[in-house]
Amino acid sequence: MALFDAIYLSDEMRGIFSAEATAQAWLDVEAALARAQAEIGMIPASAAAAITRAARTSDLDLAKLDADTRALGWPILPLVHQLSDRCGDDAGGYVHWGATTQDIMDTGLVLQLRAAWTVIDRDLGAIQEILIDLAQRHRSTLMAGRTHGQHALPLTFGFKAAVWLDEMTRHRHRMAESRSRVLTLQFGGAVGTLASLGDDGLAVRAALARELGLSEPVISWHVSRDALAEAYGLAAAAATTAEKIAQEIWLLMKTEIGELAEPAIPGRGGSSTMPQKRNPVTCELVATCAAAARRDAAASVESMRHDHERGMGPAHQEWYLTPTAIPRAGTALSLIKSVLADLIVDADRMRANLDITQGLLLAEAVMMELAQRTGRQKAHVLMKDVCHRAIAENRPLYDVMAETTAVTDVLTPDALGACLDPANYLGTADAMIDRAIAAARRPIPHKAHQNNMEA
């Protein structure tokens, strides 16, 4: 429903995958094909120039294209008819020379993917910078680390942000490494052999790849959809990391916790009935978009099951996926970028929440200190008993330990106090934060394929 597109699709993604942009991508391929064929002398240069001039959606009757597509079940034939008519009799006869529908649609999709990859890479880079800043500013901001939804050990919010950072860094590297496979020309003719172009087929294909700034395929990939499945999968994986971050913010925004919050935007997240509410609606939108991207990624893997030299059904499923799979993933990343950029971090609440279990969070720290004298197993049994008593009596862990001879015979009051300081039990968190930041700032490999994105 178009009404919901306003919140589930970013303006950039909507623009890249709109009906007009899709038709223009097909026209761009048709025009580039004509220029490539003129380059090797297959068709007149004047015809290629006329086709290029006419290959604009502003010159198309989009309503007629829509109606004809509904009638025929395929969009390229009616597109070719309109383009040929606008080129006139001489040039019009050279439109779509030696190509097949899937050549145009697949390569048009690759052009759209290139534009989307550019936006996604930019947003991933921006998210990295935001997370680097959060990791650095909050490397000493103490908070409770939680496992299975419960307090486990102390860590810092900077460490949590660095974990997010490293995951985003890996996504960016994976997407960069995939460009040579994903951004690949499709041009093979009816069954992939380029028989319609005789001995000039490979020369035309090479010239067309140069015209469009795409990788040239080793062999036609009409029924080899693994690269598209890879693209959808990589985008969905990055979107799911965005969702994981959104879910963490959503959980830590709960009234009882109150450690993080979405940016405070007037009117955003309000309730239609409860004046006090400020709901984490942007995080919820991130989750919805990421879930849709995962479903589409799974469907794209199903579309790999093409039969013979052209399948029945998988291609149509890909057409259905095209305007949703990558756009939803890109939108999830765009939304989480906006949340992180102005994320509200309540460091005081984080510190206060460390104390709600009255020292139990540091039980492992005490155990490890005791273990140096008693051995790990004995220390574990002893501290388990101490913790159970502290919980049952609702008393601070320090008080119970101070009454336990097996503890006080080993540790002085000052040593116990040091064990219960969360700042003293962060391990190598600082060093790992630095490593995550350094990895994020390292140059991305496979830059040789950058031209594929920017052509």
pLDDT digits (tens, 9 = 90+) for 26-42: 999 999 999 999 999 99
| 407-417 mean pLDDT | 93
**Residues 46, 140, 196, 271: which is the catalytic one?**
271
Q: Is residue 152 over pLDDT 80?
A: yes
pLDDT tens-digit series, residues 166-196: 999 999 999 999 999 999 999 999 999 999 9
Phi first, then psi, for residue 420 (nearest 5°) are -90, 10
Residue 381 CA to residue 130 CA, distance in Å, equals: 44
65-74, 122-131, 153-162, 393-402: lowest mean pLDDT where? 65-74
Residue 19's Cα: distance from chain center in Å?
23
Could you tell me which of 433, 407, 429 has the C-alpha nearest to residue 420?
A: 407
Q: Is residue 452 over pLDDT 60?
A: no
pLDDT at res. 74: 85
| 226-236 mean pLDDT | 94
| 290-296 mean pLDDT | 94
* Residue 407 parent element (H or E): helix 405-408
The answer to whether the CB of 410 falls within 8 A of the CB of 370 is: yes
Confidence of residue 449 (pLDDT cuts 50, 70, 90): very low
Beta-carbon contacts of 391 under 8 Å, excluding residues fewer than 6 positions away, are 360
Residue 379 CA to residue 401 CA, distance in Å, equals: 12
Name the residue with higher pLDDT: 125 or 319.
Answer: 125
Q: Is residue 337 over pLDDT 90?
A: yes
3-state secondary structure of 333: helix
How is residue 430 written in tokens? 């600082």
pLDDT at res. 8: 76
pLDDT at res. 267: 59
pLDDT at res. 331: 95
Residue 451 CA to residue 455 CA, distance in Å, equals: 6
| 98-127 mean pLDDT | 96
Beta-carbon contacts of 116 under 8 Å, excluding residues fewer than 6 positions away, are 13, 16, 17, 235, 326, 327, 330
Q: Is residue 6 over pLDDT 80?
A: no
3-state helix, strand, coil in the chain (%, to 5): 70, 5, 25
Q: Is the dihedral of CA 383, 388, 389, 390 positive or negative?
A: positive
The verdict on whether 148 is a catalytic residue reads: yes
Residue 224 CA to residue 300 CA, distance in Å, equals: 12
Residue 64 CA to residue 83 CA, distance in Å, equals: 13
Q: Is residue 1 over pLDDT 80?
A: no
Radius of gyration of the chain (CA): 29
79-83, 385-389, 390-394, 445-449: lowest mean pLDDT where? 445-449
**Residues 58, 148, 272, 308: which is the catalytic one?**
148
Beta-carbon contacts of 30 under 8 Å, excluding residues fewer than 6 positions away, are 51, 55, 79, 80, 83, 95, 96, 99, 104
Please list the residues that pair with 150 across neighbouring strands.
147
pLDDT at res. 317: 77
Q: Is residue 408 over pLDDT 60?
A: yes
pLDDT at res. 3: 60
Q: How many residues does the chain have?
A: 455
Confidence of residue 313 (pLDDT cuts 50, 70, 90): low
The verdict on whether 271 is a catalytic residue reads: yes
43-52, 254-263, 322-331: lowest mean pLDDT where? 322-331
Classify 418 in phi/psi space as left (phi over 0), alpha (psi -120 to 50) or beta. alpha
Task: Please give the mean pLDDT across all residues of the chain.
Answer: 91
The answer to whether the CB of 168 falls within 8 A of the CB of 89 is: no
